[in-house]
Amino acid sequence: MRGTTLVPRRWVGVALNPEYAGRVYGPGEPYEVSRVKIADFADAIGETSELCRDKDAAVKAGYPDVIAPPTFAVIIDQLSAKAVVSDPGLGLDYSMVVHREQSFSYARPLHAGDVVVATTTIDSIRTVGAMSMLITSTSIDTVDGEHVATANSNIVERGAQE
């Protein structure tokens, strides 16, 4: 069939598997938050606060070490969510995904020296027309069990063109 593009049948008009709502993934491998990772991330997003680079300034402000910008948790969230989006039973075509929304709530800032694990839960799956919405929450906790943050994510899988 020269010149014909074949689309796998499962992507045409098929929504995400709703039975996956409530499924929990993790905790994953420990992730060590370091000064270098924090500084690199701060540079990448244009964060200029000395609290992200200068340990003495961070300690003077009441933190044990340099602190991560609030959106740093997206790294940990995405590493954890990888298990969700790569689960073949969910039926997600990641090439059709748009990241709709991301939010974070903190018990305290992440700081250099933290070693954390993340557990991602599929909070809900719903279909709206040709789109499927996948809402997840990721609990980020120290390896000792202290809750640090929760990352909430909402992605949309756009319907495939027929």
pLDDT in tens, 40-68: 999 999 999 999 999 999 999 999 999 99
What predicted TM-score, i.e. pTM, was given to this entire model? 0.86
Show the low-confidence residues of the chain (pLDDT under 70): 1-14, 160-162
Length, in residues, of the chain: 162
Say how far apart CA 125 and CA 133 lie, in whole Å. 6
H-type helices in the chain, by residue range?
35-45, 55-60, 73-85
Q: What is the pLDDT of residues 67-82, one digit of tens each?
A: 999 999 999 999 999 9
